[in-house]
Amino acid sequence: MNLLKRKRAFTEWIWSFLLLFLCIGIILRPERAASGVSQGLLLCTETLIPALFPFMILSSLFLESRFANLFFFLNPFLKLLHIHSRKAGAALACGILSGFAPGAKAVDSLYRSGELTRCEAERMLVCCVGISPGFILNGVGVMMLKNINGGWLLFLSQLGAQAICGAAAAFWMHPRHPHSARSIDSQTHPKAAARQNKPSPTALFCESVQSSIRAILMLCGTVTFFSFLTHMLTPANASPFIRYLASVFLEVTSACRAACETNAPYRSTLCCAALSLMGSCIFLQVRSLVSPSISLRPLVLSRILHLPCSLVLFRVLAKCFPHALTANVHVYAKPLIAIRMPADVLFFLFLLCALACGLFPAQNRLRSHAKDV
């Protein structure tokens, strides 16, 4: 008991010193703090909102549609994970095709509806939470490495490492009595009876937009804060490698950008390591998207295995395709965001959409509609 109290006190002291350091840093280096916040907001308006917001709405609606059972070809891998939900394949596809945010949101939706038990949801997060192929191919491959082929090697290595970690998690987290665990979890689910009383398409759309707006606002706040934190912890004139070391455990975009600025022959390997670790920013975003009863410990521990697996797979793919990482390869792909709207216009459009959908009153209207039904 005393050891637990000491550990908690030590954590509180570390947290207090970090907050004090950041407050003093804002006073002494206001231009550095403003630069970090501006870069984080720019990343949200130009990349995060346009890329993630539509996918989050569509993934929620797709899981409730009749086409959620089309991913039956993923059933053998899901059986390896000891997951028997018919909609788990759609959630896994959302994570693979759209990245960590829609994947985590899809897993949370299945858990809250009673489709997944707590242990199954934790195993699903190991496979669903990863960097989106759009960011790896377009952001890292095209925009940073100037090589779309290198982006494909990075994506395939990350995907293969996720599959290996999922199989390892299924081996270590296999429940002894899966049926009894499901019956216990189904009683504790607050929305376990929602599958029997399925809402109308209009109510489902409003609920999906409402939850996606809350989620995207939380993601934007987390990204902006970690961009500010990275700028405060990094010297203004630091070398790219020092900036990489300072940001690799915090934020993946800054780490990949710093790795590509090193102009070293191993910069693609540094990007692979940053994509594998993901950074604390993504873990906190996942924490805000899933239920508090779902533990992120398996996901965090899986990165210990994910890092060496992704690096080995990346080197194997580089050996199999030696010309893929050749410098000055002509890029045929185009950026995903070809036209950039002004930040203020995009912000006000998003604010108007939030107000039009009724961010706060919508929940009360849905509850009254449910009572009337």
Q: What is the DSSP letter of 198?
A: P
Q: Does residue 255 sit in helix, strand or coil?
A: helix
Per-residue pLDDT tens digits for 233-282 = 887 788 888 889 888 898 888 888 889 888 777 889 999 999 999 988 89
Any idea what the Cα angle at residue 216 is, between residues 212 and 221, rounded to 5°? Answer: 150
pLDDT computed for residue 223 by the predictor: 83
Is 309 a residue whose pLDDT tops 90? yes
Q: What is the DSSP letter of 216?
A: H
Please enumerate in sequence order all residues whose Cβ is within 8 A of that of 324, keeping only pairs 6 or more positions apart, or say none: 147, 149, 150, 152, 153, 317, 318
Q: At what angle do helices 118-128 and 88-98 cross, to 10 degrees?
A: 30
Taking the C-alpha atoms of 265, 271, 276 and 281 in order, what is their torsion angle to the nearest 10 degrees? 150
Spatial separation of the C-alpha atoms in residues 360 and 204, rounded to whole Å: 16
Output the DSSP codes for 311-372. Answer: HHHHHHHHHHSTTTT-TTPPP----S--S---HHHHHHHHHHHHHHHTTTHHHHHHHHHHHH
Band of the pLDDT at 305, cuts 50, 70, 90? very high
User: What's the first-to-final CA gap in the chain, in angstroms?
Assistant: 51
Which stretch of DSSP H or E encloses residue 184? helix 178-188
Per-residue pLDDT tens digits for 333-360 = 444 443 444 555 555 555 555 554 544 4
Which stretch of DSSP H or E encloses residue 77? helix 75-80
Is 367 a residue whose pLDDT tops 50? no
Is 196 a residue whose pLDDT tops 50? no
Is 70 a residue whose pLDDT tops 90? no
pLDDT computed for residue 346 by the predictor: 52
- Across the chain, mean pLDDT equals 77
E strand intervals along 147-213: none
With b meaning 16 or more CB within 10 Å and e meaning fewer, what string describes 115-137? bbbbbbbbbbbbbbbbbbbbbbb
pTM of the model: 0.74
pLDDT computed for residue 231 by the predictor: 83
Amino acid identity, position 7: K
Per-residue pLDDT tens digits for 156-165 = 999 999 999 9
pLDDT computed for residue 157 by the predictor: 95
